[in-house]
Chain A
Amino acid sequence: MFDWMTIHKKLFNKLLFCKMRNLYSPLLRHFSQSSLPLHRNTNVQSAFCTQQNVQECLSHINQEVSSLGLPTVWVELDESSDLNVVTVLNCMYDLIQLHHRSLRTLENIEVEQLKSNSKLDYLQLSTTRLKEQLECSKRENTGLLERERQLQQKVKSLQNCLKNEKEEVQKLQNIIASRATQYNHDMKRKERDLNKLKERLNQLLADKKERKQAIDVLNNIGRADGKRSVWKTEKTEAKHEGEMYKALLSDYDARQRDLVLENAELRKVLQQMKNDMVSLLRLKKLTQNGVQNQCNGTQVEEDGFDPSKELFCVHACEKLTNSLRLQWRRLKSHVEQLDSQGIETVPRESHEEEMDKLKLEVQQCKDLIQTQQHLLQHQLNSSCDEIASLRNDGYMLQEKERLRGEWKTLEEQRSIFDRERKNFTEAAIRLSHERKAFEEDRATWLKHQFLSLSPCGDLKKPLLSDTTGASSTGVCLFLQRPPVDISTSFEICISTGGKNTQMPRSKPAYCGIKCH
């Protein structure tokens, strides 16, 4: 029952809230007014209930009322559609009570809402305020930290100062102490001297015999410079003064001379430097752009300065130094310019390259020297053993002789070979000529034979019987002809094993010859 009631209450509240939202404005004042329009327009017929749908309305209202938890207004089973006025009035009263209650809760809720709103506002304000406070305090904190740091630094520096002062004080104390010891020492010494003096005085006063000073010389010796001594007079005094001043003056003279020489040297050097700088700047200006003509002009004007003259006046000296300073400034600016342009790096790079090259060269030379040294060492080592070398030499000579002999024989053989080849070729040429002649003869003979065909027929005997054993390759036809011409025409030299062998003349040898 309780649970149902709470659920119901929740539902009721929800409904109420919805209704409130939908129908009523938050202000209570309007509530009663707004609540009325539904019922106020009694003049206008309510759209809800008409004559026709009374039953439905009733049932609907019943439903609604029951849902609200109130006893029903009308029992449906009852056929008479007459409403029980009492129940209806009770229902209405209950509804009104409900309504009042809901109004009250609405009030409460609104109050609470206001309260919470105001609380929220208050909290927001307080948070912003607190945030500001926090910011403030943070800033203060950093400020304080800064101050603390500064103070600490001050403290440190003051400590340093204090330390220095202490050291100085210590040093001064040491100095005072050493001075005090020195003073004491001196004082003691003086006191001792004084005491000795007093004693002496006493002794002298007491002493009856006073020993006087005396000199005992055998004879006077002459002065060192041989001259006679002079009386002291004003003249001598003046002379002494004069001599003294002379000595001083000569010393000053000498010093001045030295300084003048030095000055001249230095001036020369400065002049040279200035000239060098001028020429250098001029060159550089030419290589760049000759815009600054005025500088050139001034340079020319200064070149007229004659360095050979010894100028003692202050102006000339000043002029020289000023011009030198000017040139130097120019040179400096120029160099700075070059620096900024980056041209300076080139000579440095080339310089580095050159250095590398030179280093390489040096290394190579060193290697070469080393290898040469090694070789030299080897040679020396190898030629160290004299007997072995002599022996080696002997062997070498023998070998050489033998080889020389062989070379000679080879040369001879080669010359012989050449000769033979020459003869050979000549023979070959002759042979070809003779063959040709022979063939022509043959041809003519054949012709004759042919022309004179009938009488002699057994003359066709090969001439092969004359030829002995020699292989005649290629000789097609041998005719009966006296082979004297051919055989005597050439000699064939065949060399076998270094010996010239000659075929006998009588036998014509066709060995080795091919002829067509």
Chain B
Amino acid sequence: MNFSEVFKQSNQLCKVSPDGKYLATCVQYRLVIRDINTLQILNLYTCLDQISHMEWSSDSLFILCAMYKRGLVQVWSLEQPDWHCKIDEGSIGLVSSRWSPDGRHILNTTEFHLRITVWSLCTKAVSYIKYPKACQKGLDFSRDGCYMALAERRDCKDYVSIFVCDDWHLLRHFETETQDLSGLEWSPNGSVLAVWESCLEYKILLYSLDGRLLSTYSAYEWSLGVKSVSWSPSSQFLAIGSFDEKVRILNHITWKKVAQFEHPAVIDNTKATVYKEIEKRPTVTSDEMSLHNITVASSLFSTQSKYEISPLPVQIPVVKPDPDRANPKIGVSALAFSSDSRYVATKNDNMATAVWVWDMQKVRLEAVLEQTSSVRCFQWDPRRPRLALCTGNSKLYLWSPGGCVSVQVPAEGGFQVHSLNWHRSGDSLTLIGKDQLCLCYMDTEQDDK
């Protein structure tokens, strides 16, 4: 495992191009394009203001940089560095900007979600989409890039519009049976759209591509409902994480629950392995406390850690959420399927230090990773069943069915890993800190415990 040197970035904006060759980072108002392997700067662009959002186009030829305060979007070309494009939203403001799947249109959401403006880079034409809903996830493109689903709200009712991304033709427009739609997501095969309610009601609706309601699923009434939703890559399963600390898996044939994963505070009576992160503090004897040693240092401030298998029963530390606050820190907030749909990784918010890995084949708990601090981010390797996670300290943790390993990121002055992203080949990881970034290149051999 090799680590690159640490680079500066701002706003956690570092993205690898979809073809995997380039790395784009934003430093204040500059856009830096590097080659992924050599990390040499290939291009440098300067924007008019601090970049709030940056995105690669799907063909890796263009990059958009949005500056929300100024209401500006600037598009840069990789092939032609002197090509420029600037979109000014004017007084209407800008809250979000994104590419369309064909890489030639930009969708800007204006302030207060008044409308979505579709700018075409081919024709300079403009289209408007009215009444978009301001919710958690109101817009989703299907994986093949053909269709776009948009949540709308008119006259206190929720609607879903399906557009053909080719020419922005409105294919279907239907009302949904929701009180307050909170999010929608296409299945990976693009034929089913999952629509879920806000957390006040547990309700998830499944619509087919042509707008027919296929099924409704509601696990319980009254208590806070859906917190997170994830499709399996094979589109066979839909995992729903809810505020009652459970994950329910629905199958794509009957849309009925086939499995339920619970997150008890005491783990007992299971064949799963529980890995506990143990920190080893290096012992410092008096004769070692020389100035040289202190300055050299990261070894003193950062502690080594390793994983140990805890014998059952294991008690997971639980933090009770404040009952008076809205959106309490309880329930399954993060769900992720591995690329082969074999494993599901979940995180329960009131046991924030633990990541639970479930085996979908055997429908049981496979492993629990108990960390020393709250888990901030985890992501599956796009190629193999390997999970990378970080907890905000300077370590990178990897789990695979063979075992798990804790790796110290060798960076001077301490590098806190806040989030991470796998490269599409599964050979490298981008580790993003508060205002730093580091790349981690994996070796071909597997990790050992």
Give A residues with C-beta under 8 Å from B. 172, 174-175, 177-179, 181-186, 193, 196-197, 200, 204, 207, 210-225, 229-230, 232, 236-237, 240-241, 243-245, 247-248, 251-252, 255, 259
Distance of A14 Cα from B327 Cα, bound (Å): 115
- B171 near A241: Cβ-Cβ < 8 Å: yes
Contact A248–B122 (Cβ < 8 Å): no
With A214-B88, A215-B119, A216-B85 already in contact, the answer to whether A196 and B112 are too (CB < 8 A) is: yes
Considering the complex, which residues of chain B in the window 64-116 have a beta carbon less than 8 Å from any beta carbon of chain A? 77, 82-93, 102-104, 111-112
Q: Which residue of A has the minimal Cβ distance to B221?
A: A175
B287 close to chain A: CB less than 8 A: no
Which of B58, B123, B199 has a CB less than 8 Å from the CB of A229?
A: B123
Q: Is B282 an interface residue (CB 8 A)?
A: no
Q: What residues of chain A lie closer than 8 Å to B134, measured between beta carbons?
A: 193
Inter-chain contact B123/A220, CB cutoff 8 Å: yes
CA distance in complex: A215, B118 (Å): 11
B111, closest chain A residue (CB):
A200
B311 at the interface (CB under 8 A from A): no
**How distant is B317 from chain A, measured CB to nearest CB, in Å?**
23
B85 A248 Cβ-Cβ under 8 A = no
The answer to whether B325 has its CB under 8 Å from any CB of chain A is: yes
Beyond contacts A178-B328, A211-B88, A214-B88: 19 other A-B pairs, Cβ-Cβ < 8 A, are A172-B222, A174-B323, A175-B222, A178-B224, A193-B134, A211-B91, A213-B88, A214-B90, A215-B86, A215-B126, A218-B84, A220-B121, A220-B124, A224-B104, A229-B122, A240-B169, A248-B191, A251-B189, A259-B253
Query: Can you sample 27 A-B contacts with CB below 8 Å?
Result: A175-B222, A177-B323, A178-B224, A179-B200, A179-B224, A197-B112, A211-B88, A213-B89, A213-B117, A214-B87, A214-B90, A215-B87, A216-B84, A217-B85, A217-B86, A218-B84, A220-B124, A221-B122, A222-B122, A223-B104, A223-B122, A224-B104, A240-B166, A244-B171, A245-B210, A247-B146, A248-B209
Question: In the bound complex, what is the Cα–Cα distance between A244 and B193 (angstroms)?
Answer: 14
The answer for the CA separation of A232 and B163 in the assembled complex, in Å, is: 13
| Size of the chain B interface, CB-CB below 8 angstroms | 55
Contacts of A211 in B (CB 8 A): 88, 90-91
**A200 B112 Cβ-Cβ under 8 A:** yes
Looking at the complex, which one of B91, B167, B190 makes contact with A247 (CB distance below 8 Å)? B190
Q: Across the interface, do A215 and B85 meet the contact criterion of CB distance under 8 Å?
A: yes
Most chain B CB within a 10 A radius of its CB, from A196, A212, A223? A223
Q: Chain B residues with Cβ under 8 A from A219's Cβ?
A: 83
A residues near B117, Cβ cutoff 8 Å: 213
> Please, which residues of chain B bring their CB within 8 A of the CB of A177?
323
Q: How far is A220 from B92 in the complex, measured between Cα atoms in Å? A: 25
Indicate with 1 or 0, residue by residue over B317-359, a CB within 8 angstroms of chain A CB atoms: 0000001111110000000000000000000000000000000
On chain B, the residues within 8 Å of A237 by CB distance are 169
- Contacts A182-B199, A224-B103 given: A216-B169 contact, CB under 8 Å? no
> How far in angstroms is the closest Cβ of chain B from A58?
125
Q: Does B412 contact A (CB under 8 A)?
A: no
Which of A172, A177, A211 has its CB near the most chain B CB atoms (within 10 A)?
Answer: A211
Give Cα distance in the complex from A251 to B119, angstroms.
32
Judge if B279 is at the interface, Cβ distance under 8 Å: no
CB distance from A231 to the nearest CB of B (A): 9
CB pair B223 A175 closer than 8 Å: yes
On whether the beta carbons of A232 and B167 are closer than 8 Å, the reply is yes
A174 to chain B, nearest CB (A): 7
Known A-B contacts A212-B90, A248-B191; A182 and B323 likewise in contact (beta carbons under 8 Å): no
Pair B121/A221 contact, Cβ less than 8 Å: yes
Which residues of chain A are within 8 angstroms of B199 by Cβ–Cβ distance?
182
Residues of B within 8 A of A225 (CB): 102
* Chain A residues whose CB sits within 8 angstroms of the CB of B124 once the complex forms: 215, 217, 220
User: For residue A175, which residue of chain B has the nearest CB?
Assistant: B222
Q: A236 near B88 (CB under 8 angstroms)?
A: no
B325 contacts A181, C-beta separation under 8 Å: yes
Measured between alpha carbons, how far is A436 from B177 in the docked complex, in Å? 146
Set of chain B residues within 8 Å of A185, measured between Cβ atoms: 326-327
Interchain CA distance A178-B329 in the complex, whole Å: 12
Q: Closest approach, in angstroms, between the C-beta of B150 and any C-beta of chain A?
A: 16
Nearest Cβ in chain A — how far from B93, in angstroms? 8
Whether B253 and A181, one on each chain, are in contact in the complex, defined by CB atoms closer than 8 angstroms, is no
B78 CB → nearest A CB, Å: 12
Q: Does B59 contact A (CB under 8 A)?
A: yes
Chain B residues lying within 8 Å of A243, measured Cβ to Cβ, are 146, 164
* A207–B91 alpha-carbon span in the complex (Å): 10
Say yes or no: is B208 at the interface (Cβ < 8 Å to chain A). yes
Given known pairs A178-B224, A229-B167, the reply for A247 and B209 (CB within 8 Å) is yes
Cα A214 to Cα B124 in complex, Å, equals 10
Query: In whole angstroms, how far apart are the Cα atoms of A243 and B102 in the complex?
Result: 17
Residue of A nearest to B199 (CB): A182
Q: Please give the distance in Å from B409's CB to the nearest CB on chain A.
A: 37
A243 to chain B, nearest CB (A): 8
Q: Which residues of B contact A181 (CB under 8 A)?
A: 324-326
Interface centre among A172, A179, A222 (most CB of B within 10 A): A179
CB pair B326–A184 under 8 Å, yes or no, is yes
Min Cβ gap B203→A in Å is 15
In Å, the complex CA distance between A186 and B198 comes to 11
Known: A182-B327, A185-B326, A247-B190. A216 touches B86 (CB 8 A): yes
The list of the 10 closest CB pairs from A to B, nearest first, reads A185-B326, A211-B90, A251-B191, A224-B102, A213-B90, A217-B85, A216-B86, A211-B91, A240-B164, A175-B222
Query: In the assembled complex, which residues on chain A have CB atoms less than 8 Å from the CB atom of B89?
Result: 213
The smallest beta-carbon distance between A259 and chain B, in angstroms, is 7
Cα distance A454–B134 when bound, in Å? 177
Q: Which residues of A contact B86 (CB under 8 A)?
A: 215-217
Chain B residues with CB below 8 A from A251, complex form:
189-191
- In the complex formed, the residue of A with least CB distance to B83 is A218
By a CB distance below 8 angstroms, the chain A residues around B83 are 218-219, 221
Q: Which residues of B contact A172 (CB under 8 A)?
A: 222
CA distance in complex: A181, B243 (Å): 15
Chain B residues with Cβ below 8 Å from A193 are 112, 134
B253 surroundings in chain A (CB, below 8 A):
255, 259
Question: Within 8 Å CB of A184, what residues of B?
Answer: 326
Minimum Cβ distance to chain A for residue B8 (Å): 29
Whether the Cβ atoms of B121 and A217 lie closer than 8 Å is yes
Type the 1/0 row for B206-230, where 1 means its CB is closer than 8 Å to any CB of A: 0011100000000000111000000
A168 to chain B, nearest CB (A): 11
- Closest residue of chain B to A254, judged by CB? B189
| Cross-chain contact of B90 among A183, A186, A210 (Cβ < 8 A) | A210
Q: Report A148 CB to chain B, min CB distance, Å.
A: 41
- Smallest Cβ distance from A387 to chain B, in angstroms? 45
By beta carbon, the residue of chain B nearest A227 is B166
> A204 contacts B91, CB within 8 Å?
yes
Q: Which residues of A are found within 8 Å of B223, using beta-carbon distances?
A: 175, 178
Roughly how many angstroms separate A177 CA and B328 CA in the complex, as a whole number?
Answer: 12
**A217 nearest CB neighbor, chain B only:** B85
What is the CA–CA distance of A241 and B209 in the complex, to the nearest angstrom? 11
A-chain residues with CB within 8 Å of residue B190 when the two chains form the complex: 247, 251
Q: B147 — which chain A residues lie within 8 A by C-beta?
A: 244
| Partner pick for B58 among A179, A224, A241, A255, CB 8 A cutoff | A224
Measured between beta carbons, the chain B residues less than 8 angstroms from A252 are: 191
Closest to B88 in A: A214
Q: Is the CB of A182 within 8 A of B123?
A: no
Using an 8 Å CB-CB cutoff, how does the interface string of B364-393 with A read, 1 for contact, 0 for none? 000000000000000000000000000000
Q: B90–A220 contact, CB under 8 A?
A: no
User: How many angstroms between the C-alpha atoms of A172 and B223 in the bound complex?
Assistant: 9
Which of B119, B121, B325, B326: most chain A CB closer than 10 A?
Answer: B326
A399–B67 Cα gap in the complex (Å)?
103
- Per-residue A-contact encoding for B150-178, CB less than 8 Å = 1, 0 else: 00000000000000101101010000000
Contact between B326 and A215, CB atoms less than 8 A apart: no
> Please, how many angstroms separate the alpha-carbon atoms of A204 and B90 in the complex?
11
Cβ contact within 8 Å between B102 and A213:
no
Quick one: closest B residue to A215, CB to CB?
B87
Please determine whether B169 and A236 come into contact, CB atoms closer than 8 angstroms. yes
